[in-house]
Each structure stands twice: as structure tokens, then as C-alpha cells.
Amino acid sequence: ETGVTQSPTHLIKTRGQQVTLRCSSQSGHNTVSWYQQALGQGPQFIFQYYREEENGRGNFPPRFSGLQFPNYSSELNVNALELDDSALYLCASSLLVTGELFFGEGSRLTVL
Amino acid sequence: TQLLEQSPQFLSIQEGENLTVYCNSSSVFSSLQWYRQEPGEGPVLLVTVVTGGEVKKLKRLTFQFGDARKDSSLHITAAQTGDTGLYLCAGVYSGGSNYKLTFGKGTLLTVNP
């Protein structure tokens, strides 16, 4: 176990809906990164949060947004869901911006 | 666009056999990592390599970083059923954002008893 917990583990939404995914980072870690892993693909970087600020972003549209809270837990929000958003969403915490990533088990999102 | 190619995509072998999987890019990495991911779980870091030509061993797993830091290999000796999983390589590109890992698609390894 990495100490990174994600919720919910599975969820089903329909096109156009909004979803919020949650992540509790490992104790002492101040950085959270979010990745999207589509079926048969490797994880793709969405964005990273460091001390409650977005530190960097991958090639994802603005309808993917996030937050980090004072306790360093984090949320990923996706608006106007599309079928292609169906994927495993992975959260990873680290002690530093460039530190070793500890991944949670992911949230499996299915968009119908 | 920086692409990280992994081969083979799928590999099915018998317990006790040896295997090698590869990770290649046309760009230089400042560091490269190998992960193993099991069904229903997130990736778990196996090793990080940073120096061209570097070789690291983790029990029956041997990791090599190419001299030019554009490629890497993972060799497993005497595979066991517990080695079954998705092996992902991921790199931080030299000159790129140092917090962003670029992953390959992975090699899905099945070790049969």
C-alpha cells in the first residue's frame, strides 16, 4: 500500500454530466499529480498541484480542473463529460515536485 | 510530440524463462523510471535510472539505461508467475518540465505456470 487513497473506486456517468474525483495523499507529501489512463494505454499527465497551486498542466482541455486543499488532499473535476473521458484516473503524491510518485489505486470512470 | 515506444506490447511466457522488454525514444531523457502495474491497482515504482550506461539490479530484474539516454531495457531472469503485470517505462525529458512523466503504453507480461 502506498498510503494514497482515491474515491470513488468506480463510477458511471452519462455524457454532459460533471464528475469530482478525490485523492488523499500520503502523509507528509505536499505534491499531488493526476494522470489519465485509457484502456490499453499508459498514464497521461493531466496536472500537478504543489502547496495548493497548479504547478503544471498536460494537454487536457480547461474542462479538466483541480484543487488542492491545505491538508494536501486533492480533487479532479471534469465538466461536460465525453465518451472519451472513460478511463482510470490515477492520483500520485510525492514529497517534492520532482520526487518519487506514489500512486493510488485509481478511480475507474465510465461515461455512457 | 515526444513519444516513448515500448516493445513488445504483449508477452506470454512459461515460468522459468528469461525475457527482455524495451523502451525507446528519439529524445533524450534526464531520468527514466520503470513501473509495474497489476490489475485494479496503480503503478508501483521499480527503479529510476539517471546516468547513461547505468545498470541496476533488483533481485531477478536488471535495468539498463542506454549510453545516449534515449532507451532502456528491463531483463527478467527465471520469470515467476508473480511477475505477471503491466510493465511501464516513464521518462522525464531533458529540457522538458521536470515534474511531468511521459509514459509508454506498457508491456503486458503473462507468466504461465
A58-93 tens-digit pLDDT: 999 999 999 999 999 999 999 999 999 999 999 999
DSSP-derived pairing of the beta strands B4-7 and A87-94: unpaired
Running DSSP on this structure, what letter comes out for residue B69?
A: S
DSSP of B9-36: SEEEEETT--EEEEEEESS-EEEEEEEE
Nearest Cβ partner of A103 from B43, B100, B105?
B43
Q: A101 CB near a chain B CB, below 8 Å? A: yes
Name the residue facing B45 among A48, A58, A101 (closest C-beta): A101
Closest CA to A44 of A85, A102, A95: A85
User: What's phi and psi for A18, nearest 5 deg?
Assistant: -120, 150
What is the spatial distance between Cα B36 and Cα B106, in angstroms, rounded to a whole number? 9
* Percent residues over pLDDT 90 in chain B: 81
Residues of A in contact with B92 (CB under 8 A): 98
What amino acid is encoded at B105 in this protein?
Answer: K
Nearest chain A CA: its distance from B78 CA (Å) = 26
Strands (E), A17-103: 19-24, 31-37, 44-50, 53-57, 64-68, 74-78, 87-94, 102-103
For residue A99, give the DSSP letter.
S
Give the tens place of pLDDT for each residue, B38-87. 988 999 999 999 999 999 999 999 999 999 999 999 999 999 999 999 99
For cell 515534474, name the residue. B99
Reported as a pLDDT band with limits 50, 70 and 90, residue B2 is: low
Question: CA of B33 to nearest chain A CA: how many angstroms apart?
Answer: 10
The amino acid occupying position B101 is: L
pLDDT reading at A2 higher than 80: no
DSSP secondary structure letter of residue A59 = S
Strand partners, B87: B36, B107
